[in-house]
Amino acid sequence: MNIITVSREFGSGGRELGKRMADELGYDYYDREIITAIAQRRGLDEKYVENALNRSAQTVYPITFRRSFALPAVVDLPQNELLFEQKKIIDEIAAADRNCIIVGRNADVLLRDKKPFNIFVCADTEAKVRRCIERAEPDEKLSENDILKNMRAIDKNRARTREILSGSKWGDRQSYNLIINTTGWDIKALAKATAGFAASWFSGK
């Protein structure tokens, strides 16, 4: 079984790259599917699960949580329960023993015993902002400044969660097999090139 994990900077096109690589290679593809599965199993709203997991493990519950807010009980599921469910689902994906690509969710860390091929996807800030503007829904137009702020916050949380889970650094060259800067690439052509690269890796194993 070949597992490819894709970690990425927000706005870099990592998700599209992962999806297209899966099509190219005929691999199963997991991304939002994991969020959906957690939400279904725990009877939670998908958006809530996504938001909770996208915050870092340290910051999801402010210390004053219980005193300051009155929220429906369902929201009170501790984040480590969500992380636990996520780990279970990712382990089940690996146990299915089918070639697959998993985008995000720290799958590279969680599945390290399975020796996945780990890709990190980045891009120049300008290219990421442009991408976010192009892809925004008509009702979610944000200023460039707001996009930059969101981008930094999301990436910071991704970095922090990874550090808590693994002790190794998010986006650092020592933590991955391949780091790709998507700036200047057509993602379709890049997916073909990267799929070929990853296939070479597995054929040498």
Q: Note whether 10 binds a second copy by CB under 8 A.
A: no
Q: Note whether 148 binds a second copy by CB under 8 A.
A: no
Q: Note whether 180 binds a second copy by CB under 8 A.
A: yes
Tokens of 100: 């697959």
Placement of tokens 């097999």 in the chain: 177
| Distance, CA of 159 to CA of 171 (rounded, Å) | 8
- Region binding a second copy by CB under 8 A among candidate stretches 21-29, 49-57, 77-85, 171-179: 171-179
Q: Note whether 170 binds a second copy by CB under 8 A.
A: no
Q: Which of 87, 114, 156, 192 is close enough to bind a second copy by CB under 8 A?
A: 192
> What does 97-137 look like in DSSP terms, one character per residue?
T--EEEESTTHHHHTGGG--EEEEEE--HHHHHHHHHHH--
Q: Note whether 7 binds a second copy by CB under 8 A.
A: no
Give CA 180 to chain center in angstroms: 15
Tokens of 36: 């959906």
Least Å distance, CB 1 to a second copy, is: 17
Binding site for a second copy (CB under 8 A): 120, 122, 124, 171, 173-174, 176-181, 183-186, 189-190, 192-194, 196-197, 200-201, 203-204
